[in-house]
Amino acid sequence: MATTDISVFEKKAGVTFKDKALLTQAFTHRSYLNENKGLKMSHNERLEFLGDAVLELISTDYLFKKYPDKTEGDLTSYRSALVNTHSLAKAAINLDINDYLLLSKGEAKDMGRARQIILADTFEAVLGALYVDAGYESARDFVKRNLFDLIDIAHIVKNKLWLDAKSRFQEQAQEKLGVTPAYKTIREEGPDHDKVFTLGVFLGDVQVATGEGPSKQEAEQKAAENGLKEKSW
């Protein structure tokens, strides 16, 4: 159970809640209440639902004004790069949200991909709570300070980083070498419920890099990411 005073969070995030219970709710994961059934409080899923919609509007408005000449397709791609699980989890970590999360004992032990998703969801829940407590402008300013200012959107646009690693590797391989990459499974390890796949990315007969993941799709993405580094693309 988190014990840090939420006023410390408010100071770091640059916000002050009139209704402190809303902020506590934003930090409360469903698993915590499942484990503590006697508590008279709500989990954060409704606030996350609201925060997700508020974030979509804020990010869309931001990009619409920043790039007046870009098409709807371009703006949609930029938004996916600006607002995703990775960027939201990073923003949550910068705000020390881990210190305030109310989680079950099992969830509290998991610091892998599942925790990244919880952090991203909690950032959205905090945003939803702030929107309810203080309105759109406060929510917008919170997102700008704690998310947009951390991301170099110009760098993302210039280097086409909104594309996933596989798409970027394929684009570079075709443009520079006239070759379409191929992916091959090198090995599978572990039981069926906990497999680790290792895949290689090849240009012709040459293996450029390998990647590991819990699914072939994730291993391919990792191999492509490593391939981009290997080729300095």
Catalytic residue among 35, 45, 52, 74: 52
Q: Order of strands across the sheet with 206-213?
A: 182-189, 196-203, 206-213
Catalytic residue among 107, 124, 133, 225: 124
> Annotated catalytic, 52?
yes
Where do the H-state alpha helices sit in 67-211? 72-82, 85-94, 105-109, 113-134, 136-146, 153-158, 165-177
> Annotated catalytic, 124?
yes
Q: How many CB atoms lie within 10 A of CB 170?
A: 18
Which one-letter DSSP state was computed for residue 69? T
Handedness of CA 88, 90, 95, 100 (dihedral sign): positive
| Among candidate residues 15, 2, 87, the one with its CA nearest the CA of residue 44 | 2
Cβ–Cβ < 8 Å for 49, 129: no
Cβ–Cβ < 8 Å for 107, 114: yes
Active site residues: 52, 124
